[in-house]
Amino acid sequence: MAARVDEDKCTGCGSCVEVCPVEAIIVEEVATINADECLECGACVDECPNEAISLD
């Protein structure tokens, strides 16, 4: 399953975008992950300073 963003915790800082190896994340006000492109590598989970991203 692709990574998920908790929109209540996400501040839109963009840290996740910088570490995503397949550019599956965009940030407008909050991060959005393209499930079809996500590799489930967990790089964004580890990078998020607000613990707003999880792999379920």
Q: What is the pLDDT of residue 1?
A: 85
**Which residues share a beta bridge with 27?**
31
Q: Whole-angstrom Cα distance, residue 35 to residue 54?
A: 13
Check residue 40 and give its pLDDT. 97
SS (H, E, C) the chain: CCEEECCCCCCCCCHHHHHCCCCCEEECCCEEECCCCCCCCCHHHHHCCCCCEEEC
- From first to last of the 56 residues of the chain, give the pLDDT tens digit: 899 999 999 999 999 999 999 999 999 999 999 999 999 999 999 999 999 999 98
pTM for the full predicted model: 0.91
For position 41, what pLDDT does the model report? 97
Q: 29 Cβ partners below 8 Å, 6+ apart? A: 12
> What pLDDT is stored for residue 6 in this prediction?
98
pLDDT score of 56: 80
